[in-house]
Amino acid sequence: DANGLLKCYEYFQKKGFSDRDIIIIVKHVPRLSDLDKTIIGELEKIGVLVHCPSRLAGRESIRSDDDLFILETAYTKEGFVLSRDRYRQYWECHPKYRPLSRDRLIQPTFVHDDLILPQDPLGRGGPTLDQFLRFDHD
């Protein structure tokens, strides 16, 4: 849902993140509503939206694993991941991503039209949300 992507972008902007610090990765979605196309176009213009790699080889569509692309981007950029995915299938086969799925993954919840993030993203005794977002914890 492109509106959810926009809500995430606005949330992090309000938290003080610059456009350079916000990366929104989307996979190819063949059919989008006009509203979704408009929102995605705006996020592309701002420069925060990145499409997961895909290409055509003749009539065959070849798409990269969007989850691996997200994990590699967060790993390379030393960021965190906002996703409902838990990335369990990569725990054994890609150990370099374990710290991401253990310590730098935050799961969003939308309540009506609002993005709500947990104030204790790593559980009780862990960092506050603001500490988590700024890596002010160890």
Please give the share of the chain, as a percent, with pLDDT higher than 70: 97
Q: With 70 as the cut, is the pLDDT of residue 19 above it?
A: yes
Residue with tokens 């967060």: 74
Total residue length of the chain: 138
Q: What is the pLDDT of residues 49-75, one digit of tens each?
A: 999 998 888 998 888 899 999 999 999
Segment holding 111, helix H or strand E:
strand 109-111
For range 91-118, the mean pLDDT: 95
DSSP 3-state assignment of 84? coil
Q: What is the pLDDT of residues 105-131, one digit of tens each?
A: 999 999 998 999 999 999 999 999 999
